[in-house]
Structure 1
Amino acid sequence: MGQAQSPHKDLGGQEAIEKIKKLTEKAGICFFTTKVGKDAHSIPMSLQAADEDGTLWFISAIDSTHNQNILEDPTVQLYFQNNSSYEYVFLKGTAKISQDRALIDEYYSEFADAWFDGKDDPRVTVIGVSPQDGYYYETKDNKVFAMAKMVFAAVTGSKNDDGGREGGLKV
């Protein structure tokens, strides 16, 4: 019996950065993992923005476990998913913590007021993640059409395109 398959296309350089920016900003929230490996620590974090060089920006507290973990080892992994569009991105990268006022002014949002006393709270930091590589999956068509293709392939046993696209990302 066949199985639906997705066309594979690895992306590098600027093309990878554009895909990362598009898919992560649409998803908005990720599982942000520090202490990658046996003692991994993951929490959901809201993406503030993805800039033109591919850096992903988050707001975090200076005294958080997450920030302490990054100070010990800046290697992180990010898992984004946008179920409404069948889009998923996994990224490995390096995190850097900053209390630069210009960066805080640029990336702080009112949403963060749930954890801070405004952007001037001395605990506010920004975390910039520079991705090195990862993997993506997205639908080429709309979600309903992609689901119909997968069901057709499952019912008929055909090896059809499942309506998706996937590949590696190398920045």
Structure 2
Amino acid sequence: MDKQELKQNILNVLDESRTGTLATVKGNKPHSRYMTFFHEELTMYSPTSSETHKAEEIEENPNVHILLGYDGDGYGDSYIEAEGTAVIRDDQEIKNKIWNEHMENWFDGKDDPKYVVLEIKPSTIRLMNKKGTDDVQELKL
């Protein structure tokens, strides 16, 4: 699989999957939780509150790991593993872009001062469990 085909397969997983795990580092140990993700190309975004542990953890150590995809059957479901760094974004443009009505369960609208967005820039993305291939496909960015 060439680099362009690999990138397209990764983008397909990102297009089809909104919920995955985000692992941060807390006291030199991983701390994982389920999150929702949106993307522009290979940059991923996840809404969160500025008052969460993950926000504190990212400020202390921006290294993160994401698992996304995997429909649950376990028989050839493609998924990705992404390693990268996260920053907390508070600019209204990105907050407006990813806002949806489901977030009203946690925030008082897209202008809620606690509502921030994690921007994750991957350094490596691995395409896992791709049907028709036994190899892990790795894209370095």
Give the TM-score, by structure 1 length: 0.71
Hey, what does 2:82 align to over in structure 1? 91
Hey, what does 2:128 align to over in structure 1? 137
Residues 44-86 of structure 1 deviation map (CA, whole Å, 9 limit, x = unaligned)? 0011x2113x110110100100111000011000011322560
CA 111–90 in structure 1, closer or farther in 2 if over 3 Å, else same: same
Amino acid at match of 1:72: E
Which of the two has greater helix per residue?
1
* Unmatched 5+ stretches in structure 1: 1-8, 141-162
Residue 122 in structure 1 maps to residue 107 in structure 2: no
Hey, what does 1:51 align to over in structure 2? 40
Question: Distance in 1 between the 2:77 and 2:27 partners?
Answer: 27
1:17-166 to structure 2, matched below 5 A, reads 17-35=7-25, 38-47=28-37, 49-52=38-41, 54-83=42-71, 86-140=77-131, 163-164=132-133, 166=136
Q: Is the 8 A contact 1:26 1:82 kept in 2?
A: no
Q: Is the 8 A contact 1:36 1:77 kept in 2?
A: no
Q: Percent identity?
A: 26
Q: Is the 8 A contact 1:132 1:170 kept in 2?
A: yes
Residues 15-64 of structure 1 deviation map (CA, whole Å, 9 limit, x = unaligned)? 554333221231211110000784211110011x2113x11011010010
Q: Larger C-alpha radius of gyration, 1 or 2?
A: 1
Amino acid at match of 1:169: L
RMSD of equivalent CA atoms? 2.2
* Unmatched 5+ stretches in structure 2: none
Hey, what does 1:159 align to over in structure 2? none
Tell me which of the two structures has the higher relative contact order, counting C-alpha pairs closer than 8 angstroms and 6 or more residues apart: 1
Number of residue pairs matched by the alignment: 137
Residue 169 in structure 1 maps to residue 134 in structure 2: no
Question: Distance in 1 between the 2:44 and 2:26 partners?
Answer: 18
Which moves more between the two structures, 89-98 or 111-120? Answer: 111-120
Q: Is the 8 A contact 1:36 1:75 kept in 2?
A: no
Runs of 4+ in 1 over 4 A off after TM superposition: 14-17
Q: Is the 8 A contact 2:81 2:128 kept in 1?
A: no
